[in-house]
Amino acid sequence: MRSNAETRYRCRRLLLVLLPALAVSSATATGEAVPQARVPALVLAPLFADHAVLQRDKADPVWGRAAPGETVSVTFHGRTETTKADGDGAWRVRIGPFGASSDPSDLTVSGGGTITLHDVVVGDIWLCSGQSNMEFIVDDGGDSYQVDHAESEVASAHRPLIRQLKVEQTVALRPQEGVKTGGWVPASPETVGSFTAVGYFFARDIQNATGVPIGIIDSTWGGTPVQSWMSDRARASTSIAATLEARWKAEVAQWPPERVAKQPAAMEAWRKADKEAKQKHVKNPLPWPGFAASDTSPNLPGGLFNAMIAPLLPGSIKGILWYQGESNVGHASEYGELFTAMITSWRAGFGQGDLPFYFVQLANFGDVSEVKDRGWAVLREQQARALSLPATGMAVTIDIGDSQNIHPRNKQEVGRRLALIARANAYGIPPEFSGPLLASAAVEGKTIRVRFTHAGNELQAVGGPVKSLEVAGADHQFYPADGSIEGDTLIVSSPDVPAPLAVRYAWTNAPSANLYGDSGLPAAPFRSDSW
């Protein structure tokens, strides 16, 4: 049974979604005017509900709708801010800043009615977005999509000051004001199973380090490409905007009405087969049916930004976590430009400068012997291009994936590595946050000396000699190579390449990666060439 507070909250969310339509007059078929629908007195934006987390140390925007011209007041922690709704009924105030507080407080909004939100705390909010590996929950109640050690993770989840707001999966052609959510839910053994696993483990580590309440907003959808999460303006700013539009039109043409009608049944069959395959630890025998290319498809360019990100703007948050890219491997070389444009546009929408934006570089996946198709390697390189933007960080996972499972279950380590980045860069907590990153590669006779940043005092090869090394000469043909560690540098050579010009490490879809810095964090895959 839902509580009265939850019922009131869901009603307010629905009203916010429907409000623009309710405020429009219509006419009968005979042309007779129909009386205008009654506008709800007061509604709040999706971020504001019982158990909410407010962002500390910032003047937090609180906004929503009221009757046009209505005076609206927001009161929290003894402070009150007042404004008037504009001619369309939109209003916004900024309240605070407030320091972190775990004490449950009420936030009251008055204006043509009164809404009181209970158990509101002040801490840090992180938006968690992307596709299935960020959507992946702590425990699905079975053996299909859940993390390692799910039972013990759930049992120990007495974390009422970690709270999740789950955004309902929906698509829109234009930016929306409102979106349905599951409300703010404190973490407990009864609730944490449905939390984004990466987001929860990140939040747990950050809360352990800081002691403040942590809110995570789960706005994710599995199987979706980056362009679905980009605004129209962001896509238009790229050099491949026309290519994306033409590609989408071609996809739509491949989905005639009769195929669209069959897609739901095909998807349901795939999900059933996938669950059974996971339980038997075998591969799903059915091919992925894909999303129907239509105006309601989550693959619609801009569709997820419009429906699942725009309603959160300009909410006050601490930063953004991103885990996505699998659905862009087919056009991997485009990803870097799209990704950086998306980051820039999201930051502009939130209006808080260079918000911390930390992302997961894709793990090893696919045929371990495949050396011709290197789409995943290219995608990883394109992801790393975002490090050229300020306040970004990349969690490398090349060593903790599962070559046979696109959804590796060790989400605890993914969350930990993201948390290390945040601790060092967003919170000023000193431990090393990155493994070795390529700095330079210089030819020295028959060898290539590779230098790194974030290597520490000495590189480490775990479990034997450095694996997955290749070198090539003037013919651009790569051959397996050997590597020897000299302090914080790596010396690479191959008897098949007496005059090497280029070196690569872990530059395949599913490499064996065993090179680390002295921090214990893995080296990112790299290549010195641009061939």
Whether residue 116 contacts residue 108, with contact meaning beta carbons closer than 8 Å, is answered with yes
| Residue 252 maps to a domain | no
Q: Is residue 329 part of a domain?
A: no
Residue 453 lies in a domain: yes
Instruction: Answer yes or no: is 250 within a domain.
Output: no
pLDDT at site 40: 58
pLDDT (average), residues 96-118: 97
Question: What's the pLDDT at 276?
Answer: 85
Q: How does pLDDT run across 119-172, given as a tens digit for each residue?
A: 999 999 999 999 999 999 999 876 666 899 999 999 999 999 999 999 999 999
Task: Supply the range of the domain harboring residue 512.
Answer: 437-527
CB atoms within 10 A of CB 340: 19
* Angle between helix 335-350 and 375-384 (nearest 10): 40
User: Is 305 within a domain?
Assistant: no
Query: What pLDDT score was predicted for residue 281?
Result: 75
On whether residue 118 sits in a domain, the answer given is no
> What confidence tier does 20 reach under pLDDT thresholds 50, 70, 90?
very low
CA separation for the pair 513, 14 (Å, rounded): 49
Residues 173-225 have pLDDT tens digits of 999 999 999 999 999 999 999 999 999 999 999 999 999 999 999 999 999 99
Q: How many domains, in total, are found in the chain?
A: 1
Categorize the per-residue pLDDT at 23 as very low, low, confident or very high, splitting at 50, 70 and 90: very low
For residue range 229-249, list pLDDT tens digits in order: 999 999 999 999 999 999 999
Model pLDDT, residue 144: 60
| Residue 314 clears pLDDT 70, i.e. is over it | yes
Average pLDDT over residues 336-364: 98
pLDDT (average), residues 26-35: 31
DSSP string, 491-511: EEEBTTBSS--EEEES-SSS-
Treating both helix axes as pointing N-terminal to C-terminal, what angle do 411-425 and 197-210 enclose, rounded to 10 degrees? 40
Residue 492 scores a pLDDT above 70: yes
Give the per-residue pLDDT at 195: 98
Scored b (16 or more CB within 10 A) or e, 140-175 reads beeeebbbeebeebbeebebbbbbbbbbebbbbeeb
| 491 in a structural domain | yes
pLDDT at position 41:
81
Q: Average per-residue pLDDT in the chain?
A: 91
**Number of neighbours of residue 298 by Cβ within 10 angstroms:** 22
Tell me phi and psi for residue 474, to 5 degrees. -65, -20
**How far is the C-alpha of 521 from the C-alpha of 77, rounded, in Å?**
42
Residue 243, domain member (yes or no):
no
pLDDT at 37: 41
- Using pLDDT thresholds of 50, 70 and 90, give the confidence band for residue 7: very low
User: Which value, in Å, is the radius of gyration of the alpha carbons in the chain?
Assistant: 25
pLDDT of residue 15 exceeding 90: no
Confidence of residue 288 (pLDDT cuts 50, 70, 90): confident
**What is the reported pTM?**
0.91
Task: Name the pLDDT band for 30 (thresholds 50, 70, 90).
Answer: very low
